[in-house]
Homo-oligomer: A and B are copies of this chain.
Amino acid sequence: MVRTSKHDQPMTRRDKGPRIRKVPAGDNRQRLVCPDCDYVAYENPKVVVGVVATWEDKLLMCKRAIEPRRGYWTLPAGFMEMGETPEEGATREAWEEARAELEIIDLLAVYSLRHISQLQLFYRARLLSPDVSAGEESEEVGLFTFNGLPATDLAFPSVYWAIDHFQQVRDASAFSPFGNPPGRTGDMHRGR
């Protein structure tokens, strides 16, 4: 996932720029404000877009070359950028992280990770070729059978969820996208 560290910068301990919290005039919530120039840094949930992409009966995964969770396996995914559709963002991430070319099929899941204010959209996708290779943020990439996944080395809870949900609708053509599994928040530090 691209630019995680930059998005997660600890903005509340800065000594310049937006660094105090107050309710701007006409608003009803505390916002992050620059006391030097009154700039309001609105914070909104960020959208992560990713793919569960297969070639025949094999799943595309990437071993992370960057923190967090360096060395663990993940699905191609990253922050949606300005001016792109979510499908374009997911396609771009698959190229950046795994040099994979693919066709988006449909929306598999919408996960909400409220502890980090992330909305994650995972799409089902079909690889156009099995030729994949590690992009800058991956140590290696691989095509795995579902019986041979690096299951004990997955990077994030939502990677497990997406793979599990994908298998539940393997042959379905129309379904309502999955959400978080019941009771799960995706907060790894709280075991959920």
A residues touching B (Cβ–Cβ < 8 Å)? 3, 6-7, 14, 16-18, 26-27, 29, 34, 36-47, 79-87, 106-107, 110, 112, 114-115, 117, 119, 121, 174-177
State A152–B16 Cα separation when bound (angstroms).
Answer: 49
A45 proximity list for chain B (CB < 8 A): 47, 80-82, 84
**Pair A174/B177 contact, Cβ less than 8 Å:** no
- Closest CB in chain B relative to A173 CB, distance in Å: 8
| CB-based closest 6 A-B pairs | A17-B39, A16-B37, A85-B112, A82-B117, A17-B37, A106-B176
* Secondary structure type dominating chain A contacts: loop
16 A-B residue contacts at CB 8 Å? A14-B39, A16-B38, A17-B39, A36-B36, A41-B41, A44-B46, A44-B47, A44-B80, A47-B47, A47-B119, A83-B115, A83-B117, A85-B112, A107-B176, A175-B175, A177-B177
**Pair A39/B16 contact, Cβ less than 8 Å:** yes
A3 proximity list for chain B (CB < 8 A): 27
**Pair B7/A42 contact, Cβ less than 8 Å:** yes
A84 proximity list for chain B (CB < 8 A): 45, 114
Closest to A14 in B: B39
Closest to A26 in B: B6
State A83–B44 Cα separation when bound (angstroms).
Answer: 9
A119 proximity list for chain B (CB < 8 A): 47, 80, 86
Closest to A85 in B: B112
- Closest CB in chain B relative to A162 CB, distance in Å: 16
Closest to A19 in B: B39
- Closest CB in chain B relative to A140 CB, distance in Å: 22
Closest to A113 in B: B85
